[in-house]
Amino acid sequence: DADVTQTPRNRITKTGKRIMLECSQTKGHDRMYWYRQDPGLGLRLIYYSFDVKDINKGEISDGYSVSRQAQAKFSLSLESAIPNQTALYFCATSDGELRGYNEQFFGPGTRLTVL
Amino acid sequence: DAKTTQPNSMESNEEEPVHLPCNHSTISGTDYIHWYRQLPSQGPEYVIHGLTSNVNNRMASLAIAEDRKSSTLILHRATLRDAAVYYCILRLDNYGQNFVFGPGTRLSVLP
């Protein structure tokens, strides 16, 4: 089974709808991240969380919110989806307790289309 | 964070070495150099990282210029599976890993 899973993998929705993307991990990591990828722009950080009680805005948090329900779960919400939020969304995790390098592990991505 | 510059795309023949350059002229003394790659239809994956000395692992080698203003990711024998977008990222230390991924270099491997 994959260590970082994302649901759904694909979603088509309409403008104005509320959408939730979910991320779960079995790696036991305390740090979790949400990124957005647009063609030709690489990945941009939306939100990140270093533990259950910690939530931080990333580079492009406007229009998004997150919830860290447990150490293993980190959800991304679009309260009122708009077409320019059409993108590929990735969740990632890393282990903040390691003294060495804290590699980020990415999920398979969720492709979201807002019509 | 300091900015990195990479070529948009590169091509290589299978089983030949590949040198992927990255310029980071504004790097600070404490910035680590990270490389990730993204295979088609997958999330990014870690390749290698370093600070000052050249680094080797099972996937690749990282050659860092003496002035640290540039680095090169070396794939010793490219395979078709190495076709991916390669990202060079600078990040202060290992903490607060809110990476900023630029467009990266799209590597094509020809059979």
In this structure, chain A runs to a length of: 115
What is the pLDDT averaged over residues A74-81?
Answer: 96
For residue A2, pLDDT over 90 is answered with: no
Amino acid B16: pLDDT = 96
Q: Give residue B27's pLDDT.
A: 86
Residues of B in contact with A33 (CB under 8 A): 97-98
C-beta atoms of A101 and B94 within 8 A? yes
Averaged confidence pLDDT in chain A = 91
What pLDDT does B98 receive? 63
CA angle B29, B30, B31 (to 5 degrees): 100
pLDDT of A22-67, one tens digit each?
999 999 999 999 999 998 778 888 999 988 989 999 889 999 999 9
Write out the two tokens for B48: 């290698």
Nearest to B102 by CA among A59, A83, A105, A54: A59
Closest to B20 (Cα-Cα) out of B6, B33, B31 = B6
Q: What is the mean pLDDT of chain B?
A: 89
Q: Calculate mean pLDDT across residues B36-41.
A: 93
Question: What residue has token string 């395979």?
Answer: B79
How far lies B89's CA from each of A82, B15, B63, B93, in Å?
30, 26, 14, 12
CB-based contact B46 A48, cutoff 8 Å: no
